[in-house]
Structure 1
Amino acid sequence: MTLRNPLPGAVGLSHISAYEWPAADGVCGGSPHLHLACAEAYVVTDGSGAVQTLTPDGYAETPLRPGVVAWFTPGTVHRMVNGDGRLRVTVLMQNSGLPEAGDAVLTFPPEYLADPRRYAEAAALPAGEEEAARAAVRRRDLAVEGYLTLRDALRAGDPGPLREFHAAAVRLLAPKVPAWRERWRDGALAAAQATGAVLDALERGDGTHLDGARVTSTGPTRPDGFGMCGRRQEYEIPDTTVPPRSPAG
């Protein structure tokens, strides 16, 4: 059997320093968005703040402080809020590779979601620190504009605009699904199938795979980029494929 060595569960890992830029509503934080195919978890390591969320059940705000782990399923619009200016979060993403391939949709106003080119232009970050920072502020503010409309409707008891946003997000990104499927097959699915193969071998009394035990470590490979929630340190896990080994004897 051939085993790869992803992070446990084939998750994605990054560190986020929440943005300190105030938005139109006076809140300091990131760009509201959702993920179409991936669950996400926040592990709070420093500072305090909150994550504001929108689902068909309504608006909620979950406090964030060191030691808190908060997670949410695909379809949850989330906005990281920087409470004391020091909020630091380790983010765990399901299906490593899919979020990086663009399974997130920002809560831009409907006219942006209806035009893939216009959406891509508004979401893009140019090269260069200062230019990227200005673009990150612009896209955050545009996402907050759409987010506030969705939130206000939910507060009034109307989930219709949120469901319309869900539908627009699906239409916008559906063409990318075939490429996502390949990443999922090579990543999260392959990791789960490898576990199944190990269980089959153990049931037969075969522990040959243990000969391939190894340790892997890495540091941030994309430090201090502009993520949707804040300044982001990403980790790209190297390919450490374990070659198959023949049973002894």
Structure 2
Amino acid sequence: MASLPPAHPFPGGTSVSHLRVYDWPTTDGAGVVGGGTPHLHTASDEGYVVLRGSGAVQTLGPDGYAEHRLWEGTALWFQPGVVHRLINDGDLEILVIMSNAGLPEAGDAIMTFPAEVLADVGRYRAAAALPAARPGAADDPATDDAALAAAARARRDLAVEGFGALRDRVLAEGPGAPMQELYDAAARLVRDRVPGWRATWEATVAAAARTTDQALTDLAAGVAPHLSRAQVASTPADPGLRYGMCGRLTTWHP
């Protein structure tokens, strides 16, 4: 059966993706672990539902440092401002649910690069970017995949370096000053993108809330005109290689 063109946003203006967490090892503290790129979101909530495997998510936030174990069936979610780093103990696959579909894809995530990188917008964006697919890459996908993987791994390692320094400061000083410095840097880094985010949010999340508000108003009056306008929508998974911050992604246009 052919998929239907999306006629309306995914429920609540959210998005979903299937994440296979990186198993690339990195030296960290007591040993060598595999996992994703530490980062925070400036405007969007994120949720995990563990589909397979096991691991953990390490977090830094206003409450300090913590590690939360993940097993198949675990559901865990957090708000903007929580730095999160996925650890892959083996075959960790997660269904990721993001609020504000379109914002995370447009730079809402800030990676925990070292402080000197976070202090410079140009330097930060250069470190955060992955190379574009080469012309003719479809003829040699393995070569293109290797280049993307190397860049994603280097980006991950730089963020782990910054995460380690930040975690050490939080453990030594408490979360107050170290986290506030990160939050101030994050706000500076995304400031110029906020007008575009607002337009996306108005067209998706805010529109969905207004639709529900009108439906409740109508139902309270004993009528339901929205039911006669009901639609079904479907979309296939996006094709091609996709290296996210924490792993290889299968995504769907929301």
Aligned pair 1:107/2:112, yes or no? yes
Q: Provide the residue aligned with 1:93 in structure 2.
A: 98
The 3 A distance-change label for structure 1 pair 223 and 91 is: farther
In the alignment, the residues of structure 2 paired with residue 223 and residue 54 of structure 1 have an alpha-carbon distance, to the nearest angstrom, of 33
Question: Which secondary structure state, in structure 2, belongs to the residue aligned with residue 100 of structure 1?
Answer: helix
Q: 2:165 aligns with which of 124, 143, 149?
A: 149
Mapped to 2, the partners of 1:50 and 1:96 lie a distance apart of: 25
In the other structure, the counterpart of 1:245 is: none
Conservation of the 8 A alpha-carbon contact between 2:145 and 2:241: no
Amino acid at match of 1:187: T
User: Contact conserved, 1:105 with 1:169, CA < 8 A, in 2?
Assistant: yes
Letter in 2 for 1:17: R
What is the aligned partner in structure 2 of residue 81 from structure 1?
Answer: 87
Find the aligned partners of 2:78 and 2:170 in 1 and give their Cα distance.
18
Q: 1:167 aligns with which of 184, 187, 190?
A: 184
Per-residue deviation, 1:151: 0.7
Superposed, 1:1-249 pairs within 5 Å as 5-25=8-28, 26-84=32-90, 86-126=91-131, 127=133, 128-159=144-175, 160-222=177-239, 224-237=241-254
SS in 1 for 2:158: helix
Matched-pair contact (CA < 8 Å) for 1:223–1:234:
no
| Distance across 2 between alignment mates of 1:46 and 1:217 | 25
Offset, 1:218 = 2.3
**Match for 1:147: what amino acid?**
F
Letter in 1 for 2:190: L
Structure 1 Cα separation of the partners of residues 113 and 38 of structure 2: 9
Q: Once superposed, which parts of structure 1, at least 4 consecutive aligned residues long, lie more than 3 Å away?
A: none
C-alpha displacement at 1:204, in angstroms?
Answer: 2.1
Alignment-mate amino acid for residue 154 of structure 2: R
Counterpart code for 2:41: H
Which stretches in structure 1 are left out of the alignment for 5+ residues?
238-249
Letter aligned with residue 185 of structure 1: E
- Tell me the alpha carbon deviations over residues 26-81 of structure 1, each in whole angstroms, 9 at most, x when there is no partner: 22000000000001000001000011100121111111111110000000000011
Q: Distance in 2 between matches of 1:164 and 1:222?
A: 38
Q: Is the 8 A contact 2:114 2:158 kept in 1?
A: yes
Compute the TM-score of the two structures, normalised by the length of structure 1.
0.90
CA deviation after TM superposition for structure 1 residue 222, in Å: 4.3
**How many Å apart are 1:224 and its aligned residue?**
4.4
What's the secondary structure of 2:213's corresponding residue?
helix
C-alpha distance in 1 between matches for 2:42 and 2:99: 11
SS of equivalent to 2:20: strand
For 1:199 and 1:102, the matched residues in 2 are separated by 34
What CA RMSD, in Å, does the superposition of the two structures yield over aligned residues?
A: 1.3
Q: How many residues align?
A: 233
Contact kept? 1:32, 1:143, Cα under 8 Å: yes
Cα shift at 1:206? 2.0
